[in-house]
Structure 1
Amino acid sequence: MQDPYSRELEVAADAVRRAADRYVRSDGGPSEEKENAVGSYDLVTYSDRQAQEDIIRTISAEFPGDLFIAEEGEENSLTDARTWVIDPIDGTLNYERGIPMFGTQLVLMVGKEPVMSVIYLPVPEEMFTATVADGVRLNGMPVKPCGGHDLKKCIVSTGDFSRKKQEWRDIHYALIGAMKDEVARIRMFGAACVDFAYLASGRTDIHIRFVNKLWDFMPGLFMARVSGAYVDEELLSEKRFLLLTRTAEEASQYRDIVLSQIDM
């Protein structure tokens, strides 16, 4: 089956790699604090903005007329038009502090549906790509689907505490307490790109987060779906809470054992 988005994938991967190669050699440049709804510390660096400009410039040269939604200032509304959703540096605080858990992620939306995504982790030089036709690949090699585990053997990654709602932060905190004795390990990597890439490639078993901005979750959610991961659609649509697992059985155990302890 020929991949109808092979050219877009090629251009996107090249744009992301070039931008990342530039920012990993930089010290980040000047940074400034960003405000959010709950008052927690967040920042943006010069490298965030430069990477975004570089990626948009490269993609626009190949696909003039395409639209962009991106973290650092591109605020177009999502329509049926071809739209690239970009997080130029996901895990900016890790990047700024020299913690090697950060990357760049993007997804192409057509008719408001994702059709292709890229996640690049520049420190280990891992390029994850996903299309429906070609599946998930890591550095060009197919990623094999992974089986599930009993909940007690699962490694669970969680997103950062929400910067959108205090209620979400409180639930997140309660969830960590509820699952601390029920799973093998809990990880908070501090970068959604790492969370999703690791789930899609079978390095972790379960990922949880509240979803907010498209650039935070859509590239990785699409990649996870293509990999065959299970998404609890009810929680996602009703609570904006993402429970992402390798199998439906893992999700069922997580709901019965962990979520049953929490007032969502």
Structure 2
Amino acid sequence: MEEFWTKVLNFAQDTTTRVGIRLLEYAGQVQATRKADGSLVTEADNWADQEIRDAIAANFPDHGILSEEAEHTFKGTEWCWIIDPLDGTTNFTRGIPLWGISIALLYQGTPVFGYVHFPPINQTFHGYWRGSSELDIPTGAFLNNQPIHSSDDSPTNNHFFSLCARSTSVMKQGFPCKIRMLGVATYNFLAVASGATLGGVEATPKVWDLSAVWVILQAAGAVWVSLSSKPTFPLEAGKDYGSYPLPTLVVSRPELVPVFEPLMQPIIRR
């Protein structure tokens, strides 16, 4: 399958680069409207979503597609792409240069390839994760094509942990690390994969926020902890993921799960 994975990687790189160049022209120049779930959307989100869906349909016509701005129901196809065309819309509309384009490829409902491009800072993460599948697939996690691995450090006041706007209730006196809030779900988690932070939490992410980073984090050696009663993957055929939050904690190594997971009680969903 080497030729297939080369095609997948080249497609992800070419598509996100092309879309990212156009989005840089929109950044800080568009107004957002509020969707039913409270998140923001702009004409740039909708344009990028359509552009990526069209590119997938042209290059992988037999594959399914889920995207934040269009199709939310998993049809159960063997191969399926999941798109977040613009993660960090609030940053994007305010001209804050941290936002990205996230795409993932799922096999039998579970991500096996993830690619996240952040045009304003020229950072691109990608990775492969075979998991329990029988696929012949490359391995590894990469930042700008260089291998990355999560940190082996222990928490101190000089290490970072990322929160989202809906997870500030976990902050308590004596929290093991300094807190950061970046405003981009994918970057919160990918900072763990690259070793920049020791952990991160997102209280209400959707499947398009998580699919690509799920691959990269595990390939980088980090630990994924679902804070709901059901595992994040595999996806369920026929399920509408448009209003289905997937609260998640990630940490850089297994030994940090008992350090941080007890602090997450305010946002755990049973």
TM-score range, shorter chain: 0.7 to 0.9
Correspondences of 1:50-129 after superposition (within 5 Å): 50-129=47-126
The one-letter amino acid paired with 1:224 is: L
| Match in the other structure for 1:175 | 170
Corresponding position: 1:34 with 2:44:
no
The match for 2:15 is 15
Which segment is superposed worse, 62-71 or 114-123?
A: 62-71
**Does residue 147 of the first structure (1) align with residue 147 of the second (2)?**
no
**Cα distance in structure 2, aligned partners of 1:156 and 1:198:** 9
Number of the residue aligned with 1:166: none
Q: What is the rounded CA distance, in whole Å, between the counterparts of 1:189 and 1:263 in structure 2?
A: 19
Structure 1 residues 160 and 217, CA gap change in structure 2 (3 angstroms): farther
CA displacement 1:144-192 (0-9 Å, x = unmatched): 443131355531111232xxxxxxxxxx33202x2x5322311111111
Runs of 4 or more, structure 1, over 4 Å off, are 1-4, 27-30
SS across alignment from 1:199 = helix
Give the Å deviation of 1:31: 3.7
Aligned to 2:219: 226
Post-superposition shift, 1:54?
1.7
Does the CA-based 8 Å contact 1:71-1:88 persist in structure 2? yes
Count of residues in correspondence between the two structures: 246
| Structure-2 change in CA distance of 1:124 and 1:153 (3 Å) | same
Partner of 1:253: 259
Gap runs ≥5 in structure 2: 130-137, 232-245
Quote how far apart the aligned CAs of 1:217 are.
Answer: 1.4
Cα distance between partner residues in 1 of 2:142 and 2:267: 38
The answer for the alignment partner of 1:24 in structure 2 is 24
What secondary structure is seen at the aligned counterpart in 2 of 1:232?
A: strand
Gaps of 5+ in 1: 162-171
Q: Percent identity?
A: 25
Higher helix share: 1
Rounded to whole Å, the distance in 2 between the matches of 1:152 and 1:44 is 36
Q: Do residues 134 (structure 1) and 139 (structure 2) align?
A: yes
Instruction: Tell me which amino acid in the other structure corresponds to 1:101.
Output: L
Q: Distance in 2 between matches of 1:181 and 1:242?
A: 22
Distance in 1 of aligned mates of 2:194 and 2:253: 13
- Deviations, residues 59-91 of structure 1 (Å, cap 9, x unaligned): 222211222111112234241431110000000
Q: Matches of 2:96 and 2:168 in 1, distance apart? A: 23
Q: Any idea what the Cα deviations from partners look like across 1:174-219, whole Å, max 9, x if unmatched?
A: 202x2x5322311111111211221111111101122442101121
Contact 1:68/1:76, CA 8 A, preserved across alignment: no
Contact 1:153 1:183 (8 Å CA) reproduced = no
TM-score by length of 1: 0.83
1:192–1:220 CA contact under 8 A, matched in 2: no
Aligned to 1:23, what secondary structure does the other structure show? helix
Residues 119-152 of structure 1: CA deviation (Å, up to 9, x unaligned):
1111111111111323111111211443131355
1:195 equivalenced with 2:188 (yes/no): yes
TM-score between the two structures when normalised by the length of structure 2 = 0.81
Distance 1:263 1:53 in 2: 33
Per-residue CA deviation, residues 85-134 of structure 1 (Å, 9 max, x unaligned), is 00000001100100111111011111001110101111111111111323
Match of 1:165?
Answer: none
Which residue is 1:168 aligned to? none
